[in-house]
C-alpha cells in the first residue's frame, strides 16, 4: 500500500470521527497561502479536523518538508484555535429565538453566547460566516436588539 493510500485511509477515519464542531470547517477558512493550501489538498486534506491533531512531523510530510510552509500552517492553526475558542460564560444564543437554522450556523462558527455574537460586527457576520444572507442577518440583528432592549428594561426595573 502506498503512502497516499495510507493517508487516505487515515483521513477517512478522521472524517468519521469529527462530525461536529469546528473540526468540520474547510481548510479554506484557515486563510493559507495557495502553495500550502494546494499541498494539503493534494494529500486529501479537506477539513481542519484532519490536521488538527497531527504531530509536526506528519504535517511536515504533508507539506513536503518545507519549514516555511509548516511554520505558516502552525501560525494559521493557532490563530484559528484562538478565534474559534468558545466562551465559558455567557448567555446561550438560543435565548434570542432566532430559529434553529441560524443557531446551528452560528454554532458551526463557534459562536455560542449572546456576548460572542454581539462582539462580531455586522460586516463580519455578512462576509465571514457562510449561510448568513440578508434575511438571516436581519433576523439576527432584530433578535439582538430585542434582547438588549429587554435586558435594559429589566435592569432599570430592578
Phi, then psi, of 26 in degrees rounded to 5: -65, 150
- Break the chain into its structural domains and give their ranges: 3-84, 93-157
pLDDT at 70: 93
Q: What are phi and psi of 88, to 5 degrees?
A: -80, -35
Phi, psi of 18 (to 5 degrees): -100, 85
CB within 8 A of 138, min separation 6: which ones?
none
Determine contact, residues 103/94, Cβ cutoff 8 Å: yes
Residue 5: the pLDDT is 63
**Residue 76 and residue 35 in contact, taking contact as beta carbons nearer than 8 Å:** no
Residues in the chain, pLDDT under 70: 1-23, 83-89, 155-158
Return the C-alpha cell found at 124: 463580519
pTM metric for this prediction: 0.47
- The confidence score (pLDDT) of residue 8 equals 59
Amino acid at each position: 500500500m502506498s503512502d497516499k493510500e495510507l493517508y487516505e485511509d487515515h483521513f477517512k477515519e478522521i472524517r468519521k470521527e469529527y462530525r461536529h464542531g469546528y473540526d468540520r470547517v474547510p481548510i479554506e477558512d484557515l486563510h493559507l497561502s495557495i502553495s500550502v493550501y494546494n499541498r494539503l489538498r493534494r494529500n486529501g486534506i479537506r477539513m481542519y479536523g484532519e490536521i488538527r491533531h497531527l504531530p509536526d512531523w506528519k504535517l511536515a510530510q504533508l507539506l513536503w518538508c518545507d519549514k516555511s510552509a509548516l511554520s505558516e500552517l502552525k501560525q494559521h492553526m493557532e490563530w484559528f484555535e484562538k478565534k474559534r475558542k468558545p466562551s465559558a460564560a455567557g448567555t446561550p444564543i438560543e435565548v434570542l429565538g432566532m430559529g434553529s437554522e441560524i443557531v446551528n450556523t452560528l454554532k458551526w462558527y463557534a459562536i455560542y453566547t449572546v456576548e460572542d455574537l454581539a462582539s462580531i460586527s455586522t460586516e463580519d457576520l455578512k462576509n465571514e460566516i457562510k449561510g448568513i444572507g440578508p434575511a438571516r442577518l436581519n433576523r439576527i440583528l432584530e433578535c439582538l436588539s430585542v434582547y438588549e432592549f429587554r435586558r435594559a428594561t429589566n435592569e432599570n426595573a430592578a
